[in-house]
């Protein structure tokens, strides 16, 4: 199927590794020119060169810390200048620390909200007016299933993600009349560079071995495994297509049918 993406442009946050890099790859393979951002310029430039060399598309690396409003504005502005327009914005940058209430500090809560939620707010604040001027666009927000499937070990990301759902739905209602549609993609556990760190934190908080903690997530998923980055990226690329533009205010879980509450019950045994 032709996704009709050739010649389109996209901004992808958190594009130097993990899901964001896989999304940038997927879009470039479909003929999209991409600007990517992350905090570390060296990893960002390496990812941009790798994707551009393989696909022949323009891939622009722009260092940005999305906890800072000025950096978010600079990323959107520079990306727009380099690409000429913004057809697609993929908000992906951000993580929030797992942990139970007793182990979460004020800094943990601030990190969860400042990057995972406010980073998305900042990028949309600057990108959406540009999309209005050009007559339309598409926003795909990578959020997470813990905002809809609560777990007591994921209360910080769950709170940030629930706010992200509300934001996506609210803006879908506001900007639809401008030809701009917004959707949320909500992954469950994904095998990224961060996965081992999350398992270590879970093992610490739940007084489990690493091996025991690493089995919790697959045991809560009927398919028996966590997702690969390409699986999430393939869904995002499809949703970014003009063929999917009428989907607005839609939220899609990509978590293998995870029963999140099973993780808590397994930990409590």
Range of the domain at 124: 9-192+229-258
Whether 222 is in a domain gets the answer: no
Averaged pLDDT, 171-191: 97
Does any domain span residue 125? yes
Best CA proximity match to 99, nearest among 224, 225, 200 = 200
Q: What is the pLDDT of residues 129-139, one digit of tens each?
A: 999 999 999 99
Which of the residue ranges 100-104, 125-129, 138-142 would you say has the lowest mean pLDDT? 100-104
- The DSSP string of the chain is ---S-TT-EEEEESTTSHHHHHHHHHHHHTT-EEEEEES-HHHHHHHHHHHHHHH---EEEEE--TTSHHHHHHHHHHHHHHHSS-SEEEE-------B-GGG--HHHHHHIIIIIIHHHHHHHHHHHHHHHHHT-EEEEEE--GGGTS--TTBHHHHHHHHHHHHHHHHHHHHHGGGTEEEEEEEE-SEESTTHHHHHHHHHHHHT--HHHHHHHHHHTSTTSSPEEHHHHHHHHHHHHSGGGTT--SEEEEESTT--THHHHHHHH-
Tell me whether residue 103 is in a domain. yes
| 52: in domain | yes
Q: What is the pLDDT of residue 269?
A: 59
Write out pLDDT tens, residues 10-46.
999 999 999 999 999 999 999 999 999 999 999 999 9
State the pLDDT confidence band at 144, using cuts at 50, 70 and 90: very high
pLDDT in tens, 218-261: 999 999 999 999 999 999 999 999 999 999 999 999 999 999 88
Give the CATH number, domain containing residue 161.
Answer: 3.40.50.720
Q: Give the chain's domain count.
A: 1
Q: Is the residue at 48 inside a domain?
A: yes
Q: Is residue 4 part of a domain?
A: no
Mean pLDDT over 82-109 rounds to 92
Pairwise pLDDT comparison (209 vs 75), residue with the higher score = 75
pLDDT at residue 267, as a whole number: 64
Report yes or no on 73 lying in a domain. yes
Decide which of 207 and 217 is more confident: 217
Domain presence at residue 102: yes
Per cent of the chain over pLDDT 70 is: 98
Mean pLDDT over each residue of the chain, to the nearest integer = 93
């Amino acid at each position: 199927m032709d996704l009709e993406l050739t010649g389109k442009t996209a901004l992808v946050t958190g594009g130097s590794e993990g899901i964001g890099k896989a999304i940038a790859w997927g879009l470039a393979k479909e003929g999209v020119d991409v600007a990517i951002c992350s905090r570390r310029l060296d990893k960002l430039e390496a990812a941009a060169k790798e994707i551009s060399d393989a696909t022949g598309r323009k891939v622009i690396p722009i260092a940005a810390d999305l906890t800072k409003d000025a950096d978010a504005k600079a990323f959107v502005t520079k990306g727009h200048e380099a690409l000429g327009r913004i057809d697609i914005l993929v908000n992906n940058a951000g993580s929030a620390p797992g942990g139970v209430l007793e182990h979460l500090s004020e800094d943990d809560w601030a990190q969860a909200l400042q990057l995972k939620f406010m980073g998305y707010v900042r990028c949309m604040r600057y990108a959406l007016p540009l999309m209005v001027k050009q007559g339309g666009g598409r926003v795909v927000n990578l959020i997470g299933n813990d905002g809809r499937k609560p777990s007591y070990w994921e209360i910080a990301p769950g709170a940030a993600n629930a706010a992200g759902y509300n934001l996506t739905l609210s803006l879908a209602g506001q900007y639809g009349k401008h030809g701009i549609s917004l959707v949320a993609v909500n992954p469950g556990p994904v095998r990224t560079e961060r996965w081992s760190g999350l398992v270590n934190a879970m093992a610490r908080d739940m007084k489990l071995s690493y091996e025991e903690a690493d089995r919790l997530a697959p045991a809560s998923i009927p398919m028996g495994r966590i997702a690969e980055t390409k699986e999430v990226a393939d869904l995002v690329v499809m949703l970014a297509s003009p063929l999917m533009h009428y989907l607005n205010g839609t939220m899609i879980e990509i978590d293998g049918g995870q029963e999140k509450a099973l993780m808590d019950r397994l930990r409590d045994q």
